[in-house]
Structure 1
């Protein structure tokens, strides 16, 4: 309540003064509506249509409430007559928000209505012989009353927007969960329809640190979906689904995300967004992956993703390749493993192996002689060389227990 409003109850008009005002109430309401219709275009159609009688009734009720306030005895229940008017103004503000309109037109209508109503009521008071001082004070009360109605409408408008936004975010979150969970197409389509979400051609998963979620989300298209709570395989990352970041649009997205420490999955048709999410999560789980401050493109790690798709198989293959070096027990000699790895990487070029390992070429020759004694003809077998290259050029990936979702592995 404003400081001016209590004056509405302390200033009391006599029944002799209020009587003519009540008799002229219908005329004042009509004049008020006509003025608003002529000067506030947004309400022209509303007044002319089915809402016209309803709005006229509401205007007449608001004016009647005002007269009741200034004509009743003061007391502890002085606010009782005002409550219905404030509730009506609050509901009007909510209605404007539901219809997608700002408060500009409504507040303009309030201001204009107050002027017209005061003009008509003052004319009646003058004809009734009210002194000028009384009429002037009466004007202050009219505008204080309108201020209260305006404030109630503003509150209703703000509450409706907040409620609508919460509901919109809830429905969008349901849509995001349906996509991430790989729900059937009809379920996802229904969720998109409930959220009134304009579907893009593609969605691209972006795993982003939780602390940066809001900032990164603000960089994306307004249709971007987000899941603020970490999901399986996301570690401490949150999920964004960026719309239409396929083809030529992918490079600008990557530039936009620089410095935020994100993992970006492939673009997929929006109904198959889970594929992008799964790949981003699997890339995040790659051992030794550095994300902090970088933009990690999953497309740069396809080979690693392929060969680590079955961690237990990779571990078995690694043990098989290194078995001759260990004799079946213990850890393989580190220097021989490093030399074999470099030899495979450089396709047997001794000078390059020596440069990479910071050793003399003769040392490389000695170690390779030892490796040939251990492996024999396998060092010339293309299939064995391919298998050895796979396990020796990748970090060790811990096996994952059955049924456990992919997550960040210890590097």
Structure 2
């Protein structure tokens, strides 16, 4: 036990006198209107319940995390105010510290103080009503008015503590390298202004590059925290989901490191893009992994998005793609399932190929004569536009894009 620490946490009548002076109760007759402790604690519960009902940011069950924080703050604030009014000793700095921590928590979450101000408005209004009820049996003279004034000043002091804690955390985070790196990757992936990105990049020593690669995967979370990546990699970890931004020159090394840390999915990565295009690159990575899960991209330990640009483009608007498939692939739906699958794969391979018939036949592992027969059948089904109209051919290719997917038969 540390004697100094024990004394610091002891209730003090000197602290009560100091607070009475700060809120204007030291030279007034309000002392003749004592407040009942039990009624005050009931009032604290009423205040915390109203905050949760009226402030959306703090809504939730009363026994949840937010509910416990709000209830604890209301209990501490009301308890101290009642003690000060009743000339009872209070612990120096305990309530101020609690409310400063509330402000720090808001800053740590990256949120403004708007919700906290709204909560204080609700609490102040409720406290004034409840205070009037508590002193109903006493008097409605100058003493009651003084108590109301003291309450308003007291609430202002608590809000000052919140703001002080908020500013303290903002200052701390502005000099914390880990926070700055997390802030930097959020700015890059969020499409922030170049000047803002450059400013933080210089502060953390990240080698700002004209071209970057965005990578994404799921990683193993080991005891002790996040997976360790080279300093050149800006990483954002959300659960087991890792998103990484890296300059082009370091992309290959970071890719190898991420493949070592992968959990259930391959590492998807983009072709080099400018910093301003990083948000779009993130969307490509996310979509590539979704298509992998849907078996539209072959399995493996990595997904090179540059190899699947057409698939990503074709499946960027699923509703539009569905309408396209329903409209253009109608000729295939009347075929037996096995025949439909064969012609769909032939159509996809033939339309996307830029080499000769022999090469396409080899890719499909069929004889060139077999390929010729299939192509004739496809032209019969779709019409000569399939080979004479480039726009129509491209639209059909969009409709059959993606691996392992066929146009389904219409519902019965």
Shorter-normalised TM-score: what interval?
0.3 to 0.5
Query: Larger radius of gyration, structure 1 or 2?
Result: 1
Q: With structure 1 as the length reference, what TM-score do the two structures score?
A: 0.42
